Amino acid sequence: MPWWVFAFASALAAAATAVLAKIGVEQVPSNLATAVRTTIVLVFAWGIVIARGEQHALQQLRSRPLLFLTLSGFATCLSWLAYFRALQLAPASRVAPVDKLSLGLTIVFAAIVLGESISWKLAFGVALMVIGALLTLAA
């Protein structure tokens, strides 16, 4: 399957995540809700790794990829903790668009850190998405 099928599946799952998490954080501390969610992710991810026999590649994991995967894990933790707290405090229809401001930041970081190019079409499209997300703040 092409990459965009997985990206679209990710977007659908993320949309479901926002609504399901909003329901899940009702009368539950946001940190506990994040811990429960993270446990499910952990069990599910390791289940897939073991089912596919990929756990053997763990022995070949070098320090540089491990460092960056660890840093990515910390960033994910901070993101999820903040996201669940935001969902406790505001409607999912307001939290999710603001959370998606990460799109613009990702493209800027990818250009700076990874040297990826930004075409005028990409910049314009992302600018429209960022403007749209910011407009939800005043809704």
Residues 31 and 79 in one domain: yes
86 has a pLDDT exceeding 90: yes
Residues 64 and 109 in one domain: no
123 and 117 in contact (C-beta within 8 Å)? no
pTM: 0.84
Residues 21 and 41 in one domain: yes
Residues 13 and 68 in one domain: yes
Average pLDDT of the segment spanning 36-55: 96
Domain residue limits at 119: 100-139
Q: How many domains does the chain have?
A: 2
Residues 15 and 32 in one domain: yes
State how far the alpha carbon of 25 is from the alpha carbons of 73, 109, 110, 118, in Å: 22, 31, 32, 38
pLDDT at res. 139: 65
Residues 20 and 87 in one domain: yes
CA distance 91 to 94: 5
Residues 84 and 17 in one domain: yes
